[in-house]
Structure 1
């Protein structure tokens, strides 16, 4: 199943007002009481609540990648680091931004994003993990929370200016850093010194975290050095370096820190190679360039790997060469028929060549083995809908949303399934939930009204339930608007 991002146009500038115009809402989320001194004592509980709001704002505004294969990889890697981290006060969530530039950022409450371009240029899994460990430490050491507290004491700030400038700085560094300086009246030199202190601490603890989680601690200075070399003769700075200033002294210090650990070879996982191939095929290159890229790699000594064959299969599929893609995927599945990367791509081939029954049979077998896997479930539901088995799709999607209630693709497919059944009341309600995930309150409320119009007088319980849902949306939206 070829998955897309929520908004594939990168936003070069974000209005601080717009950031809070349609803030997103989590199911059953209770916002903290944010008065004029809301940030003076930012407790972990309050940080998580505000961070969840920020995350939904980010999801509504940025080209977030909703690709279950990428999502599972990133969250598995992130959770392997979290398991060894100290100072973890709340659950962490990791997500991708569809952007070829090298960047990663953390926001309040344990939400960490990585650009697809960051993994694309990482030569080893440990290099990529070093970026994630660095961002994790920014959260566990409460760098962002302490920064917000300090800034709130230096000037009278609103929710919009604080959260807007932080989010803007993360996703659009040049505009964001200017916004931070303008809105807060903090001297530039003191802001830089504060950042350097945070970066050094994130490096030091991040290297320890890498080693504890089984990754190569030497990967952090190696990756830093590559970033420095990459920009030495460039006219513009990498986005990552705007928010993570990198000096020669910092690189040297990270090397010294790493040398406290034994240097040993840490092999990459098979998933890393496949994720890297998927990112190059789907997010870094156009179809023709991707085909050329993987053909060249396969022709190189030692380059005839399963990951490169998989990458070429994706590129051929995206160019509508279904036969070429199937030939490669059939060989790959013959050696590993449970591999999710191959399963996902073969499903695409079957559905694109009108072999829905074959796709359903393949996916049913895998679903029985792994019923809670989102890659299998979403592919299975998609195949079911293409085979007009909309009730099966509904069953699969509802089960998935029961334990992963923020899955954007599941909400999107749910609307299609209800529409296929002609259940328009449920269709409009599902579409309201989709808008809710996209932080568009007004459209969500409008769709609840449409759902109510579809119900008959005899549907009293459903009427009361939807009215209560609409009231909750109105209440939360009104409360959020007061924070602007």
Structure 2
């Protein structure tokens, strides 16, 4: 499914969002300095606000295959962690640089470039384990509490620091230092001391989750080598200072575990191929990349065939892409990577009925899988079966109520049916996901104007939704 990246310019740090209108979590009655004491409940609620603002400010990747992989891997590790206080969610940013960060409340973000350069799944997992520990050990929450005690701290200033440092780490860190002086320096020192703890517990978590604990020092060494002869610091290292002592310490800690071979999952090379084809290289570069790999010893792999098929599809060479995918599916017709790509081929070659037939069979087997559901809904939309698409999307949002693509497709489905009241309501929910509170409220008003006098129940429901939006927006503004 080629519905992948959303870049949304920041709409201002005061335009914040808590959660979807149909599943809103009340904001805490914080009073005084909201950050003086962050209980786990407050941390989760404020973290949700922060993540929505981050989603509105960075080029987030809304790719169901990547999303499923990252959340399965990340939550598999969280299940083995100690000190977990709330559910975790994992996200991708479309960025070729190596970087990852965690925010309050169990939200963890990785650049696509981080997985692209990993030599093993354990190396990538080591980055995720490090970020998970930052949350479970409350490093971020304690740092925020410390900063709030030394100087007045608003949600807007906190978000500004995080987002600026993530988008442009060098400028962000310089800006933070210039604006907050010694108070911020103490916060950075505090963070550096936490890096060692995140390494130590992260290595243990790696081992507990079935990954190679030696992968963490190996990945650290790789980062160090990349910057040895360069004047440019890696983005990851601005927020995760890496010294030779830290590399040595992580190596010593890893040696406490017996070294063993840990094979990558079957999905890892396919995810890596997808990232190289769709996010790391341009189209011509991707084709050359996979052709070169396939010509190398040991390179005739399913992952490289899959990556080449994606690159050929993006070049609009649908026949060549289908030939590769047909062979892959003949060996594994339930593989969701191949299913997703073949759906795109069928739709692009005006064979929507064939796509629908293929996806209906898979949906009956796995009705709650977001990859199958979103592809099925997309094919239904292309075939103008808008009511089928609505049924699929509503079911998906019932249990995964932050799925951006589902909201986006819901808007298109209502437009296709010319149901303008529901169209504007769905668009309001979409703006809600993008942290644009004023536009979300405006679209509810437009939706109300589409109703007739016979729609009294709908009118009362939308008025209640509008009031909820206004109330939460007012409470959020008090944090700034």
- TM-score norm. by structure 1 comes to 0.96
Counterpart position of 2:474:
478
- Aligned-partner Cα distance in 1 for 2:434–2:170: 26
Counterpart position of 1:257:
253
Aligned with 1:376 (options 372, 379, 391): 372
Q: Are positions 1:388 and 2:387 aligned together?
A: no
Q: Are positions 1:113 and 2:112 aligned together?
A: no
Q: CA deviation at 1:188?
A: 6.4
- Aligned-partner Cα distance in 2 for 1:468–1:158: 29
Counterpart position of 1:241:
237
Residues 71-470 of structure 1 aligned to structure 2 (within 5 Å): 71-186=67-182, 190-470=186-466
Work out whether residues 168 and 176 of structure 1, in 8 Å CA contact, stay in contact via their aligned partners in 2.
yes
Deviations 1:216-245 (A, max 9, x none): 000000000000000011121000000000
Q: CA deviation at 1:168?
A: 2.9
Q: CA deviation at 1:36?
A: 3.2
Q: CA deviation at 1:41?
A: 1.1
Aligned with 2:41 (options 35, 42, 45): 45
Q: Are positions 1:2 and 2:2 aligned together?
A: yes
Secondary structure, aligned partner of 1:96: strand
- Aligned-partner Cα distance in 2 for 1:168–1:81: 29
Q: CA deviation at 1:195?
A: 2.2
- Aligned-partner Cα distance in 1 for 2:168–2:40: 26
Aligned with 2:14 (options 12, 20, 27): 20
Work out whether residues 65 and 371 of structure 2, in 8 Å CA contact, stay in contact via their aligned partners in 1.
yes
Change (3 A) 1:189 1:182: closer
Task: Choose 445-454 or 183-192, whichever is displaced more.
Answer: 183-192
Secondary structure, aligned partner of 1:383: helix
- Aligned-partner Cα distance in 1 for 2:405–2:163: 24
Q: CA deviation at 1:5?
A: 1.4
Work out whether residues 161 and 183 of structure 1, in 8 Å CA contact, stay in contact via their aligned partners in 2.
no
- Aligned-partner Cα distance in 1 for 2:155–2:106: 19
Work out whether residues 134 and 140 of structure 2, in 8 Å CA contact, stay in contact via their aligned partners in 1.
yes
Deviations 1:408-430 (A, max 9, x none): 10011111111111111111111
- Aligned-partner Cα distance in 2 for 1:123–1:390: 43
Deviations 1:352-384 (A, max 9, x none): 000011000000000000000000000001111
Q: Are positions 1:29 and 2:25 aligned together?
A: yes
- Aligned-partner Cα distance in 2 for 1:187–1:452: 49
Structure 1 runs not aligned, ≥5 long: none
- Aligned-partner Cα distance in 1 for 2:353–2:156: 52
- Aligned-partner Cα distance in 2 for 1:189–1:215: 35
Change (3 A) 1:189 1:449: closer
Of structures 1 and 2, the one with the larger relative CO (CA 8 A, separation 6+) is: 2
Secondary structure, aligned partner of 2:61: coil
Q: CA deviation at 1:193?
A: 3.0
Q: CA deviation at 1:283?
A: 0.3
Q: CA deviation at 1:441?
A: 1.5
- Aligned-partner Cα distance in 2 for 1:107–1:93: 10
Secondary structure, aligned partner of 2:291: helix
Deviations 1:430-474 (A, max 9, x none): 111111111112221121111111111011000000111111111
Work out whether residues 97 and 115 of structure 1, in 8 Å CA contact, stay in contact via their aligned partners in 2.
yes
Deviations 1:290-309 (A, max 9, x none): 00000000000000000000
Q: CA deviation at 1:480?
A: 1.5
Work out whether residues 350 and 358 of structure 1, in 8 Å CA contact, stay in contact via their aligned partners in 2.
yes
Work out whether residues 374 and 393 of structure 2, in 8 Å CA contact, stay in contact via their aligned partners in 1.
yes
Give runs of ≥4 in structure 1 deviating > 6 Å.
none
- Aligned-partner Cα distance in 1 for 2:200–2:215: 13
Work out whether residues 18 and 24 of structure 2, in 8 Å CA contact, stay in contact via their aligned partners in 1.
no
- TM-score norm. by structure 2 comes to 0.97
Work out whether residues 15 and 438 of structure 2, in 8 Å CA contact, stay in contact via their aligned partners in 1.
no
Q: What is the number of residues matched between the two proteins? A: 478
